[in-house]
Amino acid sequence: MQKVIECVPNFSEGRDPEVIRQISAAIEAVEGISLLNVDPGASTNRTVVTFAGTPEAAVEAAFRGIQKAAELIDMRKHKGAHPRMGATDVCPFIPVSNVSWEEAIACAHQLGKRVGEELGIPVYLYEKAAKNPSRSNLSIIRSGEYEGFFEKIKEAAWKPDFGPSVFNEKSGATVIGAREFLVAYNVNLNTRAARRATSVAFDVRENGRVKTDDGTPRGKPILDASGEPERVPGMLKHVKAIGWYVEEYGFAQVSMNLTNIEETPLHAAFDACNEAASKRGLRVTGSEVVGMLPKKCLVDAGKYFLRKQQWSEGASEEELIAIAIRSMGLNELKPFDPRERIIEFKMESAGKKSLLKMNLREFCNETLSDSPAPGGGSVAALMGALGSSLGGMVANLSAGKRGWEEKLSYFSDWAVKAQQLKDELLFLVDEDTAAFNKVMDAFALPKESAEEKVARSAAIQQANKYAAEIPLRVMETSFRSYRLLAEMADQGNPASISDVGVGLLAVRACIAGAALNVRINLAGLKDEKLRSALAEQSGRITAESEAEFGKIIQIVESKIS
């Protein structure tokens, strides 16, 4: 599946629209990058740019943005309300989907090295990317700001992680790192009283409330041995919260920052507010997300609410997201459009044309046309997706079968796995066509000079390698569907056994068809060792596919008979 990482550089210019435009354009010009938001502030004299893409593209885009900022912004003339130490003040990477912390930290280190070496800007690493734990906090690094860093950088303790140990007068210094995704989330209450909303905020936030002698906010604080007020911790970790009254809406809210959505996800914050409000005679009426968020937040929320309903979690991403929106009332204040508010969906809408956006007739028409793509590879991947979908359908039907309630968890787990297989194979439908187009692009490269011929030959070999690897991934992914189909043939609703059989045939055809595409692309590879290895993998999966198909189809045939 595609790797997506977000990057949110803060530039020390919020008043000159032309400078902001040029920095944003430099970032957006990188292939594979989606510019999600540009938010300038005049009083802070600062612009926050949000973009996302693959790790490689994000590093390149961040570098170009920092490079352009260094060219256009002169920190000797900068004044603003926000703390700052450089033209690019801070540049964090935030994993969104299928990106590990190791990869995010590597992005920060790669970017820091380039900025230090190529631009001559001192770079400090912070948060999860920090090499020195004492520098993990941004405010500690930035203490003294631009004006104070001319002397601070001379101290041994403040030698930069990358770049020169001399402060750059024009560009200042830059802090680069990797941090958790922060979600700004507000929960609506059926009260106008900010004080009551604050009570709910104190109930849920990690910092809780001060402990008093009579247990009320008006009581005398109880002090610990060091003379500091003791605190009653709140219900949720990694949550900051306050209560406020919103004039525009006419009611109060609990306003939260969720700083670790893995440990305290969106739905946990919603339910905690619901529980705390109910104990105080209040009711949660809905909620709102400020800004954008990763798809996983709403997918996980959808699964959570289905689990509470004791229903199968094996729904499509689209359905899970719709359930999450309804369950948390995200549409109460204004329409919540997933295409605009979910990072991955926003990237897709701004990205290349996708076969997956076509209806069945359009897909068949495109396949039937005189264009060579989509071709057999994309069709094979689609057949695999249909095969796993049929297995998932049987799992969902079995999960909802009356009298089989004790098997709900078993079938729900298989339905979830089916959704994952289906989504991986659908991704490969587009990726196979993209791989073919890379081969065509490589052959179209110029070949006039000796250098051009060498570059063209290398590009063709790389493109052919990728074009063989994608159908091999299709084979490997689709092969995993056999386990799903075997379980459904053996344990699933017997009324759906023919659907298992059709799923089997689709998976077998997918693997056999993808194998043909592996073979035809291997023909163009000059690396005999690689060609032999890929051919061996393809042959092994094909043989194992036939063996698995033979075993499972016997079960299907026996049950139909």
Spell out the domains of the chain, with CATH numbers in brackets: 4-178 (3.30.990.10), 183-347 (3.30.70.670), 353-560 (1.20.120.680)
Give the tens place of pLDDT for each residue, 461-508: 999 999 999 999 999 999 999 999 999 999 999 999 999 999 999 999
Examine the residue annotation and report whether 78 is marked as an active-site residue of this protein: no
The pLDDT mean for the chain works out to 94
Token reading at 158: 């403040």
Instruction: Say what percent of the chain tops pLDDT 70.
Output: 99
Token reading at 80: 């603003």
Q: How far is CA 391 from CA 281, 355, 405, 421, 494, in A?
A: 46, 23, 19, 10, 13
Among the listed residues 161, 430, 432, 499, the single catalytic one is: 432
Residue whose C-alpha is closest to residue 386's, from 243, 301, 498, 505:
505
Examine the residue annotation and report whether 82 is marked as an active-site residue of this protein: yes
Average confidence (pLDDT) over 375-381: 95
Give the tens place of pLDDT for each residue, 66-86: 999 999 999 999 998 888 999
What pLDDT sits at residue 462? Answer: 93
Between strands 46-53 and 239-246, the pairing is unpaired
Which amino acid makes up residue 194?
Answer: A
pLDDT bucket at 219, cuts 50 / 70 / 90: confident
Instruction: Say what percent of the chain tops pLDDT 90.
Output: 84
Token reading at 47: 């612009």
What pLDDT sits at residue 350? Answer: 63
What pLDDT sits at residue 297? Answer: 96
pLDDT bucket at 315, cuts 50 / 70 / 90: very high
pLDDT bucket at 351, cuts 50 / 70 / 90: low
Give the tens place of pLDDT for each residue, 54-69: 999 999 999 999 999 9
What pLDDT sits at residue 348? Answer: 80
What pLDDT sits at residue 221? Answer: 82
Average confidence (pLDDT) over 263-270: 97
Q: Are 30 and 91 in contact (CB under 8 A)?
A: no
Among the listed residues 39, 74, 78, 82, the single catalytic one is: 82
What pLDDT sits at residue 37? Answer: 87
Give the tens place of pLDDT for each residue, 178-197: 999 989 899 999 999 999 99
pLDDT bucket at 39, cuts 50 / 70 / 90: confident
Rounded Cα distance between 311 and 295, Å, is 21
Give the tens place of pLDDT for each residue, 408-452: 999 999 999 999 999 999 999 999 999 999 999 999 999 999 999
Residue whose C-alpha is closest to residue 24's, from 46, 47, 54:
47
